[in-house]
């Protein structure tokens, strides 16, 4: 009996030891790739791993270094070289690990940074990741944008009458690819291409100026996108995206505006955040004390601003849907309300344009083509331009033109390539009004024809 018990205990201990060994062995992690995403204001480094990372880090000076220790991790990855001028990193290298079975990676830095490290769970097409964001202490976003070679609009001096500023936000970027098409097309690539085309059209229009919150393949936080639009005193924000679904059948473009539920939620947050109140209300916020009555006043002002933004957003969205319907299939024929973070600013009217379903093979192919991208950009531009011709900010060049136009009728001589709809859009009048003023029975016009432009 004693022998049987001893044997049982032996097998039990052996099983426990084998289980522990198996657990230790299976716990070993592996870095499968390292990716670097420089941007004008920060650099992001992403470590792809087979499992959730167990890590620690610390900073060193003279020279500046960020040291990251990965526990129970194998060293098999060739580290990338750094060549981008925007990067705050000089070199990434391995170093002697703190313990056997660990991996130590050193980021050699060329300036003082604020590091932010966090783990991300697997999301297709990526596995577990450790994200390292290095924010430059010397970063000056406005100057970075001015000095970059990417498409950023320059201020124009138009006799004291300001440009209407449109923020064109290319969705996703960098570590965040967005949706991925059947042939591997990234949404982030398509959105940036369309955004740049749209920005180019805006910049070519006298009296309008585009700014791009994202100008390259790097990630920009959602709040930062709105902040950059605000710093550039944007009159409107357009966020460009491409939709996706779990099956390939859905297709077509859609336009989204902020839902009332999300708007009310955001108003509540701004009321409790005095810094955000100052951003929105300017000097008015300085005289509002922390009393209940004056909180009501602040809420009233914020409500009025949000109401204006939502009303403007819906009107522009309606125009955009109409124009998109001329160049592509529509998934929804009316603007849709949604709780989207990029649309939440009370002081900046905004819309989100889903340019098509990248998960649909035919639309994925179209979204990659220059011709289709140009058609989409032109449709959005025409809608936004028409809205602001009819509803210009008081201190803009568009407002001055509208005032002059209201004083007298204008004469327009038809040029090559112009149609009745193009002329109507240019002067902010309807086609029917243009036909009536010129006693036209059809939409046909000829080069050299003189048209009377009615008051809008």
Question: How big is the CA angle at 175 (ends 173 and 178), to the nearest 5 degrees?
Answer: 55
Superfamily of segment(s) 408-453: LysM domain (3.10.350.10)
CA-to-CA dists, residue 30 to 79, 124, 133, 249, angstroms: 13, 18, 21, 38
pLDDT tens, residue by residue, 185-237:
999 999 999 999 999 999 999 999 999 999 999 988 888 888 899 899 999 99
What is the C-alpha radius of gyration for the chain, rounded to an integer number of angstroms? 28
Q: How far apart are the first and last CA of the chain?
A: 106
As annotated, the residues of the chain forming the CATH 3.40.630.40 domain(s) are: 151-390
pTM of the predicted model, to two decimals?
A: 0.67
CA-to-CA dists, residue 211 to 144, 269, 384, 438, angstroms: 13, 27, 15, 39
Q: Is 301 helix (H, G, I), strand (E, B) or coil?
A: helix
Helix axis angle, 370-390 to 292-324, nearest 10°: 130
As annotated, the residues of the chain forming the CATH 3.10.350.10 domain(s) are: 408-453
pLDDT tens, residue by residue, 268-324:
454 344 444 444 444 334 434 444 444 444 444 444 555 667 788 889 999 999 999
Q: Which two tokens stand for residue 265?
A: 């939620």
- Whether 94 has a pLDDT exceeding 80, the answer reads yes
As annotated, the residues of the chain forming the CATH 2.60.40.3500 domain(s) are: 28-136
Question: How big is the CA angle at 222 (ends 211 and 137), to the nearest 5 degrees?
Answer: 80
DSSP state of 277: H
Mean per-residue pLDDT, 133-158:
49
Q: Is 405 helix (H, G, I), strand (E, B) or coil?
A: helix
pLDDT tens, residue by residue, 352-399:
899 999 999 999 999 999 999 999 999 999 999 999 999 998 889 998
pLDDT given for residue 21 in this prediction: 46
DSSP state of 161: P
| In CATH, 28-136 is 3.40.50.150 | no
Superfamily of segment(s) 151-390: Zn-dependent exopeptidases (3.40.630.40)
Contacts of 419 by beta carbon, 8 Å cutoff, 6+ apart: 443, 445
CA dist 51 and 11 (Å) reads: 32
More confident residue, 142 or 45: 45
pLDDT tens, residue by residue, 12-71:
555 555 554 444 445 589 999 899 988 888 889 999 999 999 999 999 998 999 999 999
Q: Which two tokens stand for residue 5?
A: 């018990």
Q: Which two tokens stand for residue 326?
A: 């001329």
CB contact at 8 A, 187 and 231: no
HSE (side-chain half, CA atoms, 13 Å) at 358: 25
């Amino acid at each position: 009996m004693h022998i049987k018990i001893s044997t049982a205990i032996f097998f039990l201990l052996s099983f426990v030891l084998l289980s522990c060994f198996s657990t230790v062995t299976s716990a070993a992690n592996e870095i499968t790739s390292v990716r670097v995403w420089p941007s004008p204001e920060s650099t992001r480094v992403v470590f792809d791993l087979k499992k959730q990372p167990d890590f620690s880090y610390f900073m060193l000076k003279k020279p500046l270094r960020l040291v990251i220790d990965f526990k129970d991790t194998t060293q098999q990855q060739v580290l990338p070289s750094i060549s981008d001028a925007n990067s705050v990193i000089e070199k990434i290298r391995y170093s002697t690990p703190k313990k056997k079975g660990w991996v130590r990676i050193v980021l050699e830095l060329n300036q003082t940074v604020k590091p932010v490290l966090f783990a991300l769970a697997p999301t297709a097409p990526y596995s577990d990741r450790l994200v390292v964001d290095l924010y430059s202490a010397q970063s000056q976003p406005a100057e970075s944008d001015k000095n970059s070679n990417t498409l950023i609009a320059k201020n124009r001096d138009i006799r004291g009458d300001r440009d209407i500023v449109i923020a064109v936000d290319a969705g996703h970027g960098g570590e965040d690819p967005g949706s991925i098409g059947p042939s591997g097309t990234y949404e982030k690539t398509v959105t940036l291409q369309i955004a740049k085309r749209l920005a180019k059209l805006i910049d070519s229009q006298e009296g309008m100026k585009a700014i791009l919150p994202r100008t390259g393949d790097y990630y920009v936080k959602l709040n930062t996108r709105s902040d950059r639009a605000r710093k550039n005193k944007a009159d409107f924000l357009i966020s460009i995206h491409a939709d996706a679904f779990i099956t390939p059948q859905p297709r077509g473009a859609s336009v989204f505006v902020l839902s009332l539920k999300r708007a009310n939620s955001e108003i509540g947050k701004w009321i409790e955040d005095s810094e955000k109140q100052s951003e929105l209300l300017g000097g008015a916020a300085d005289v509002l004390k922390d009393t209940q009555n004056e909180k009501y006043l602040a809420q009233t002002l914020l409500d009025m601003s949000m109401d204006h933004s939502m009303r403007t957003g819906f009107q522009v969205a309606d125009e955009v849907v109409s124009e998109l319907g001329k160049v592509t299939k529509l998934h929804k024929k009316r603007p849709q309300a949604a709780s989207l973070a990029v649309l939440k600013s009370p002081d900046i009217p905004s819309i989100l344009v889903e340019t098509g379903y990248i998960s649909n093979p035919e639309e994925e192919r179209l979204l990659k083509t220059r011709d289709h991208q140009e058609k989409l950009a032109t449709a959005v531009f025409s809608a936004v331009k028409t809205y602001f011709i009819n509803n210009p900010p008081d201190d803009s060049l568009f407002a001055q033109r509208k005032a002059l136009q209201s004083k007298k009728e204008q004469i327009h001589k038809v040029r090559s390539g112009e149609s009745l709809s193009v002329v109507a859009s240019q002067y902010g009048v309807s086609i029917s009004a243009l036909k009536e003023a010129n006693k036209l029975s059809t939409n046909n016009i000829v080069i050299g024809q003189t048209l009377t432009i009615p008051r809008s």
